[in-house]
Structure 1
Amino acid sequence: MPSGDDARPTFVLVHGSCSSSFMWAPIQRELALLGHRSFAVDLPGHGFDAQYPVAYQAPQDLDAWAAEPSTLAGVTLRDNVDMVVDIV
């Protein structure tokens, strides 16, 4: 069994939909102040990997955006689970 600092758990923080790992920054700061380690996961298609259609960007073309498939259309719950399991 690990001893000392290695015996403490590492908190793996997972965001919900329409968010990213950045939402955990205040919590991670507080955990660090208490001496805890943490790792915030970005699920597939979120955070720095997020992609936005050209129609969404300025100037917005709402008609084109309404007809364009979501950039997350191919991401499944299994993809999210696999990402978290790989991290853990």
Structure 2
Amino acid sequence: MRKHDEFEDDGRTIADMSGIGPAPTLRPHRRKSGAPPAEPANDRPWEQAPDWTPKEKFWAVLGAMKATLLIACVYLAGLAVLLGALFLLWK
């Protein structure tokens, strides 16, 4: 068997886990009633709803409907080709 190399920490941080404490296993965690909840940081702005005008909303909905109809038409065309081939095969 090959002997494994010793692990060497290069000091890079993948995820900061400094603010996480131990999790209770037998009882659920309860917050203290006197402590206010911490305000979340704005570190994920892409998850917030965009401020769109009604015209922009209309065009976004229209674009989504166009994409959905295009995919549905491709599936229906494939089904038509399959049925046509099967009818010709069994004729």
TM above 0.5: no
By relative contact order (CA 8 Å, sep 6+), the higher-ranking structure is 1
Q: TM-score, normalised by structure 1?
A: 0.17
Q: TM-score, normalised by structure 2?
A: 0.17
Which structure has the bigger radius of gyration?
A: 2
Higher strand share: 1
